[in-house]
Amino acid sequence: WLPAGLASGMLAAWGFLRVVRRHLSFEGQLRQAVRKNQFEVHYQPIVDLHTRRCVGAEALVRWRQSNGQLVRPDLFIPLAEESGLIQPLTDLVLERVCAELGPTLLANPTLYISINVAAIDLASSRFADELAHQMADVAFAPSQIAIEATERGFMHANTANEIIQKLRSAGHPVLIDDFGTGYSSLSYLQHFRVDTLKIDKAFIDTVGTEAASASVAPHIVEIGHSLGVKLVAEGVESEDQALWLSSRGVQYGQGWLFARAMPRDDFLAWLAGL
Ligand code: C2E
Ligand code: CA
Ligand code: CA
Ligand code: CA
């Protein structure tokens, strides 16, 4: 028999411990997955909205668990960022891309693959050095590996800009990912020179609808034009959206209208069938 307060306190503590244990074990699994390289990279084509030809693809990581299940990145990337596992994961994705698409990139010198990096990858020269190291071993051009960084990644301002310019001078295109959803302090755009803005799906979703953000989409496109950068729209699902975008001068699109993210072999078959 326990006093009510103590009993409920113990219950709360027990519940808390269970949450911590589950968290630790998911993190433990992720750590092991990184050690054993239980990841796959899927590729989602990026097309020229005008010609509908494939210009590149985004590398999107998936975790293949021991039970065969595929885990989507939004379920483990945040944990990887918190637990210091994101840097080895970024490296694994880069290595995989070079290994499994090297010959394709060499045979198609204008095709590029873009890789997502985390804020911490831009906080020191570690990733840029790793990339330079990888590029020394491949025969395709640095321009064929593009780097996608979110606005959050840019907020480690001092180092990030230096690293971004280092990547660009090594020949890698740098993109601002999920443009419009982040801190959106437009002032940084004047400081950071980038090659491309990737307009977030949230804005594309509302194109042609009455939603409040629908009125924002044209402005985002305008900002891109006034900065003189290339624009890629992500999450293009309908022909109407594609037409709207290309009529506004958005050159590139990515989305289910064109293709979903696919394993390497499917991506190569898709490319060959174009
Ligand atoms: P993101 O960089 O914004 O990637 C686009 C996400 O939208 C992808 O989800 C893609 O499959 C999905 N998508 C593309 N077109 C459409 C469409 O037309 N309709 C819909 N409903 N969805 C579409 P995914 O692969 O689940 O990736 C989610 C996020 O995980 C990515 O968002 C990115 O932030 C992160 N991520 C993925 N791979 C990596 C990686 O290797 N490293 C890092 N740091 N982050 C990654
Ligand atoms: Ca991305
Ligand atoms: Ca994106
Ligand atoms: Ca997005």
In degrees, rounded to 5, the angle at the alpha carbon of residue 89 between the alpha carbons of residues 91 and 143 is 40
Distance from the CA of 254 to the center of ligand 4, in angstroms? Answer: 11
Report the percentage of the chain scoring pLDDT > 70.
93
State the ipTM, two decimals.
0.96
Give me the chain's average pLDDT, please: 91
Determine how β-strand 70-71 pairs with β-strand 54-64: antiparallel
In this structure, what token pair is assigned to residue 73?
């990145």
Q: 212-247 pLDDT, tens per residue?
A: 666 788 999 999 999 899 999 999 999 999 999 999
Name 267's Cβ contacts closer than 8 Å, sequence gap at least 6: 42, 43, 45, 57
- Token pair 């050095």 is at which residue? 129
Classify 271 as helix, strand or coil: helix
Classify 90 as helix, strand or coil: helix
Q: Which atom of ligand 1 is nearest to the CA of 237?
A: 18
Q: Which residues line ligand 1 (CB under 6 A)?
A: 44, 60-61, 72-74, 77, 90, 93, 116-118, 177-178, 201, 234-237, 254-256, 261
Determine the residue of 116, 147, 177, 197 to mutate for testing ligand 1's pocket, defined as the one with the most ligand atoms within 8 A of the Cβ atom: 116
Distance from the CA of 264 to the center of ligand 4, in angstroms? Answer: 21
CB 110 within 8 A of CB 55: yes
> Per-residue pLDDT for 6 more than 90?
no
- Closest C-alpha to ligand 1, atom 41: 61
What's the predicted TM-score (pTM) here? 0.90
Determine how β-strand 230-234 pairs with β-strand 262-263: unpaired
> Per-residue pLDDT for 184 more than 60?
no
Q: Per-residue confidence at 159, pLDDT binned at 50, 70, 90?
A: confident
Q: 59-81 pLDDT, tens per residue?
A: 999 999 989 999 999 999 999 99
> Per-residue pLDDT for 251 more than 90?
yes
- Closest C-alpha to ligand 1, atom 20: 235
Distance from the CA of 103 to the center of ligand 1, in angstroms? Answer: 25
> Per-residue pLDDT for 19 more than 80?
no
Judged by average pLDDT, the poorest of 70-74, 125-129, 159-163, 182-186 is: 182-186
Distance from the CA of 122 to the center of ligand 2, in angstroms? Answer: 15
- Token pair 């244990």 is at which residue? 21
> Per-residue pLDDT for 85 more than 70?
yes
What mean pLDDT is predicted for residues 173-193?
79
Q: What is the Cα–Cα distance from 135 to 255, expressed in whole angstroms?
A: 29
What mean pLDDT is predicted for residues 144-157?
83
